[in-house]
Structures are given as structure tokens and as C-alpha cells.
Structure 1
């Protein structure tokens, strides 16, 4: 049995804008505020990337426990999938 890696990329219907010193993820009249880590992850999703690679990149940029990073990335990816801000790709 082969376990394949799932890759994600941004849904091009979503854009990040800096409004009143806040980073907002916008689409179809909806707005979601991004913190610094959320913005970092969103920027990484500009290209096709796996959640494992996102964890590695975040781990190299922030002084945070890797298990916490894994949990936070998993939670954030699930949120982005729920609002259709990201798409699975091959």
C-alpha cells in the first residue's frame, strides 16, 4: 500500500490585503484576520507544498516546539480547507 503525500496551494479567489495594519484574507465578502504565523503559512501556500514541508519551513523560522508547530499547522490547514481557501493538488 502506497501512502501519498497531499499537496496544497492557495485558491486564487482568496487574497491577502493589509488594511489598518491587519493582514486580512479576503474572498467573496468574507474577511479572516491572519496573525504572523497564519500569514507565513499562507505565503508558503503560494506554491504547491505539503503540510510536512510547511512544518519544516515554520520550524526553521520560529523558535517553537515542533509538536506545537505540527498541531498548529494541521489545525490551520483544516481551517483553510473548510473555507475553501486552499486546494489539494498533485
Structure 2
């Protein structure tokens, strides 16, 4: 996996395999079976994780969150891409390019 690549709004993102996720007091916590680490995704991070059950474009993810939380696009893009970058660095998500055929 190339970890230095920039996340593109047209890419598809989905949950990686091998993670056990539970709700604890309104926040999602996750155990990665692959690396043996625990993660607290928080409330909004948990909602993002739920949206990643099926491959979704990052643009659609941002648009969904903008409507749900009434946040401006610039802030939403910045926060979502930062969160996804952290998940990618830990190898918790899968990114793929859309085919434009």
C-alpha cells in the first residue's frame, strides 16, 4: 500500500477486514485483529465507519456529513480526509480508484 499518496475526492473508500467494532457509551471502539491495536473512533468517527460498510466515494461521504452536521464543505473535506488518512496509516480502510469507463 502506498501511504504517501493523496486521498482524492473521487476515490472509493470502504472498511478494511479484520476489525471488531463495538459501541461504548455512544462512541465506537475497534480492535484490529491484524495489528492487535484498539482504536476509539469517537461518535462522528463511528458514524463515518458505519458509512464505510459498502464502498462509498469520498465526495459522497463528505456531502452526507455536510447535510447531517450542517458544516461547510472546506471544513468537512479537511476533517474527513484527515480522519481517513489516519485510518489509512493504520491500514484500517481500503481505498480504490473509480473506473471512468
Q: Same fold (TM over 0.5)?
A: yes
1:74 aligns with 2:81: yes
C-alpha distance in structure 1 between counterparts of 2:11 and 2:72, whole Å: 23
1:14 aligns with 2:19: yes
1:33 aligned counterpart, secondary structure: strand
User: Number of residues paired by the alignment?
Assistant: 87
Measured on the aligned residues, the alpha-carbon RMSD in Å equals 2.0
Give, in angstroms, the shift of residue 50 of structure 1. 1.3
Write the deviation string for residues 59-82 of structure 1: whole angstroms up to 9, x where unpaired. 111122221111000101111111
| Corresponding residue number in structure 2 for 1:26 | 31
1:58 aligns with 2:55: no
Gaps of 5+ in 2: 1-8
Gaps of 5+ in 1: none
2:18 aligned counterpart, secondary structure: coil
Equivalent of residue 88 in structure 1, options 79, 95, 100: 95
| Corresponding residue number in structure 1 for 2:54 | 47
Superposed structure 1 runs of 4+ greater than 6 Å apart:
none
